[in-house]
Chains A and B, each alone.
Chain A
Amino acid sequence: MSTRVTIDPGPETGYNFAYLDEQTKRMIRRAILKGIAIPGYQVPFASREMPMPYGWGTGGVQLTASILGQDDVLKVIDQGSDDTTNAVSIRKFFERTAGVRTTTHTRESTIIQTRHRIPEESLKEGQVIVYQVPIPEPLRFLEPRETETRKLHALAEYGLMHVKLYEDIARHGHIATTYAYPVEVAGRYIMDPSPTPKFDNPKMHRMAALQLFGAGREKRIYAVPPYTDVKSLDFEDHPFRIQTFKEPCALCGATGVYLDEVIMDDRGGRMFVCSDSDFCEGRRADGHHGAMLADAPAALTGDNDHA
């Protein structure tokens, strides 16, 4: 039934299913339920030490561990890709501590843990996307006092957030914030959508899947329930815009997707390829091809196995 052949001999013994003990999972699930009940509100939780350093997704891993069931199929993305270090190690972690099926295909997965991207393919009802969040507080860099930011959230005093956008326009002529772009959730709380590029912000609006956010070091969980309004902040005369790219993906020819720039040599050679590696591979399998597919190195086309 497995979508991939697991190279490990099987799940580790001596651990509870998905590493965390059941009491901890219950505590985290309660925080998740509260987060879903108050969309965009940061719920404090008793974040545990995980066997990985802070900044590597300890919050996301705890969320995933708490909602993971035997029948779930897990996909892990790091910067859009399934085969970068963070994604590979977290996927292995759950293969070994929970023995669940894993996949790289967005469509087959039931839980997607992500760092920095939302898949290009739209998510469906019944799927859950778990974001790894480094700094959950959108007001942090404007107001360093936690007591004060909590008060600002409680009283919905969000003028400060627009001061930041004002400063952007005053200095750069446009809103230069390109990632962690603040959003208003369900007309109430201002939320940091984690360091995803603002390109992905529109995908959060009325998404069919449940969106969960976990910050391990900062000990906060927040959530956006399915089909919730998520609005990117802007000015009337400087409306929110996503990034655009001049060329299509050099491997699969896709347009209207988020592209990564890849430096090819030391003479200025470069190519732009889909950041979502699964989406790109899927398109190539369907026969699409971009301008540089023939002479791209194997490391880029993904011909090597995702170990």
Chain B
Amino acid sequence: MHEIPDAPLLSVSGLTKYYGERIGCTDVSFNLYEGEVLAVVGESGSGKSTLLSLLSTELEASAGSIRYRMRDGIVRDLASLSEAERRLLLRTDWGFVRQDSTQGLRMSVSAGGNIGERLMSVGARHYGNIRDKALDWLDRVEIDQSRIDDIPKAFSGGMRQRLQIARNLVTHPRLVFMDEPTSGLDVSVQARLLDLIRGLVSEFGLAVIIVTHDLAVARLLSHRMMVMKGGRVIEAGLTDRVLDDPHQPYTQLLVSSVLAA
């Protein structure tokens, strides 16, 4: 099994974002370790997506800090990284699986090219090797290898999400952000995708932050969860504890409004 080091991989404290007068999210703090899946749940407008954009450095925080332990073991404040370092981090050590696959994939580039892009961006220049890696990853995410030269436009919703995962994991990132990866998929496809993500998380010891409004997804995937409302974290803890014994009235409402979570 993977050894869990003492220092957290990601350490967030007092993270706050204001859009002018309005609060995007405020005073969010948590630690994330390798191999750990953290679910962020809440209704739409609760600040989940703002939080994810802040963590992935797509947005600049109004206050607070995000500290990340780089591959060389040195902990750095993400705000202090240069743009080049930040972008390198995004395409090597991090992954981002998006809700809308057209934003996470290059829709006019073949599946193989989509998977190979990260490899080529870090200097892979051998076509045969890139292709072998792409085939291997298609296999891992349960896409038929014969589809390697097809473009994602020809793929179903579930296949596109699996392709996004392959495209992100090919460089063996340590931290993956997922924004509603299963929404819009039918239930059986969702189940397979969740199975796949669980398998990959344990195989690679990934740390995952998954944003979802679906408590069933949170229950199946995550070790810990944070409930957000109005830009604040109102409840956080082990997933089973939060779902089985919710303390906050809002969380109780959330849990009771799901049919069979």
Contacts and interface: CB of A to CB of B under 8 A. Distances in A.
Interface in A155-178: 155, 157, 159-160, 162-163, 166-167, 169-171
B29 interface: no
A265 interface: no
A167 B87 contact: no
B158 interface: no
Contact of A155 (B84, B110, B112): B84
A167 B126 CA distance: 13
A237 interface: yes
Interface in B54-106: 83-84, 87, 106
Contacts of A155: 83-84, 87
Interface stretch (B37-45, B113-121, B198-206): B113-121
Chain A interface residue number, banded = 10 to 19
B118 to A, nearest CB: 8
A235 B131 CA distance: 12
Given A155-B83, A170-B149, A171-B149, A163 B109 contact: yes
B83 A166 contact: no
A170 B112 contact: yes
Given A157-B121, A170-B113, A237 B127 contact: yes
A159 B110 contact: no
Contacts of A266: none
Contact of A235 (B110, B122, B125, B148): B125
A163 B117 contact: yes
Contacts of A236: 125-127
Contact of B122 (A159, A166, A169, A170): A159
B116 A163 contact: yes
B121 A235 contact: no
A193 to B, nearest CB: 20
Contacts of B148: 170
Nearest to B122: A159
B177 to A, nearest CB: 20
Nearest to A161: B120
A238 B131 CA distance: 13
B196 interface: no
Contact of A159 (B112, B120, B131): B120
B130 interface: yes
B117 A159 contact: yes
B120 A237 contact: no
B5 interface: no
Nearest to B149: A170
A137 to B, nearest CB: 17
Contact of B120 (A151, A162, A169): A162
Of residues B121, B126, B127, B130, which shows the largest number of chain A Cβ atoms within 10 Å of its Cβ?
B127
A241 to B, nearest CB: 14
B196 to A, nearest CB: 25
Interface of A: 151, 155, 157, 159-160, 162-163, 166-167, 169-171, 235-238
Given A157-B121, A160-B117, A162-B125, 14 more contacts: A151-B83, A159-B117, A159-B122, A163-B109, A166-B113, A167-B110, A169-B127, A170-B110, A170-B131, A235-B125, A235-B126, A237-B126, A237-B127, A238-B127
Nearest 9 pairs between A and B by C-beta? A159-B121, A162-B120, A235-B127, A159-B120, A236-B126, A155-B84, A170-B149, A237-B128, A166-B113
7 contacts: A157-B87, A159-B120, A159-B121, A163-B120, A167-B109, A167-B113, A235-B127
